[in-house]
Amino acid sequence: MSEVSPENNRKGSDTAATGTNTAKSSWQSWFLQLHRPVLENEESAWIWFDVANSCYATVALATFLPLVLNSYASTHAWTTSGLVKPPSCGDLISPYSTSCIECRIGEGDLLCHGAGTGKTNCVDLTVPTIGGINPTSFAFLIISLSCISQLITFALFGLHADHTEKRREFLLASSLLGAGSIVLLAFFPKEEGSAKYILAALVTIVSNTAFGLAQVFYNAYLPLIAKDKAAISGEDENEVENSISSRALAGGYWAGVIGLILSIGVLMMTGGMKKGATEYEISSSFRWATVLSGIWWFIGTLLTIPRLQPRPSKEFIPFNWTYSLAAFGKTISFTYNKLPVTGCFMILYFFYSDGYSTIAGLGLLYARLDMCAETSTLFVVAMEAPLCAAFGNYLFLWISRKYKLTNRTMVVAILCMVAVLPFWGLLGYVSNSIGFRNYWEVYLLGAWFGFCLGAIQNFSRTLFIELMPSSRENEYFAFYELTDKGSSWLGPMVVSGLAAVGHGTLRLAFAYILLMTLVPAIFIHRLDLEAAKAALKEVETEDQDNAKGTTIELVNKLQQEAEI
369-423: pLDDT as tens digits: 888 888 788 888 888 888 888 788 889 989 999 999 999 999 999 999 999 999 9
CA gap 490, 361 in Å, rounded? 12
**pLDDT single digits (tens) 249-274:** 888 888 988 998 999 899 888 887 77
Find the mean pLDDT for residues 170-176. 92
Please report, rounded to a whole number, the percentage of residues in the chain having pLDDT higher than 90: 26
Q: Residue 478: its pLDDT value, please?
A: 65
Residues with Cβ within 8 Å of residue 225, at least 6 apart in sequence: 39, 42, 43, 46, 244
CA gap 185, 313 in Å, rounded? 37
The dihedral built from the CA positions of residue 76, 80, 81 and 83, taken in this order, carries a sign that is: positive
CA gap 64, 2 in Å, rounded? 85
Is residue 367 scored above 90 in pLDDT? no
What is the three-state SS of 251-316?
HHHHHHHHHHHHHHHHHHHCCCCCCCCCHHHHHHHHHHHHHHHHHHHHHHHHHHHHHCCCCCCCCC
**Helices (H), ranges, 370-406:** 375-402
Kindly state the greatest CA–CA separation across the chain. Answer: 120
CA gap 89, 115 in Å, rounded? 10
Burial label for 508, CB within 10 Å (0-12, 13-18, 19+), is: middle
CA gap 179, 271 in Å, rounded? 24
CA 504 vs CA 99, 127, 234, 556: distances in Å: 19, 8, 56, 52
Residues with Cβ within 8 Å of residue 299, at least 6 apart in sequence: 52
Please report, rounded to a whole number, the percentage of residues in the chain having pLDDT higher than 70: 81
Counting Cα atoms < 13 Å in the Cβ hemisphere of 250 gives 14
Please state the CATH superfamily assignment of the domain spanning residues 40-80+128-563 in this structure. Answer: MFS general substrate transporter like domains (1.20.1250.20)
CA gap 26, 56 in Å, rounded? 45
CA 299 vs CA 63, 219, 263, 269, 450: distances in Å: 21, 20, 17, 22, 27
**Using N-to-C axis directions, what is the helix angle for 321-338 and 340-369, rounded to 10°?**
110
Q: What is the DSSP string of 228-247?
A: HHHHHH---HHHHHHHHHHH
Q: Residue 75: its pLDDT value, please?
A: 84
Q: Residue 3: its pLDDT value, please?
A: 40
Is residue 41 scored above 50 in pLDDT? yes
**pLDDT single digits (tens) 442-483:** 899 889 998 998 899 889 988 998 898 876 766 777 667 665
The domain segmentation of the chain, as residue ranges, is 40-80+128-563, 84-124
**pLDDT single digits (tens) 228-257:** 888 888 888 878 887 888 889 888 888 988
Q: Residue 112: its pLDDT value, please?
A: 94
Q: Residue 8: its pLDDT value, please?
A: 42
CA gap 14, 19 in Å, rounded? 8
CA 333 vs CA 148, 310, 328, 338, 557: distances in Å: 20, 30, 9, 8, 17
CA gap 178, 216 in Å, rounded? 14
Q: Residue 93: its pLDDT value, please?
A: 86
Taking only Cα atoms into account, the Rg of the chain, rounded to an integer number of angstroms, comes to 26
Q: Residue 412: its pLDDT value, please?
A: 97
Find the mean pLDDT for residues 36-42. 62
- Intra-chain end-to-end CA distance of the chain, in Å: 59
CA gap 420, 418 in Å, rounded? 5
Q: Residue 21: its pLDDT value, please?
A: 44
CA gap 106, 439 in Å, rounded? 10
Structural element, H or E, at residue 110 = strand 108-112
CA gap 422, 448 in Å, rounded? 12
Which band of pLDDT confidence, cut at 50, 70 and 90, is reported for residue 10? Answer: very low
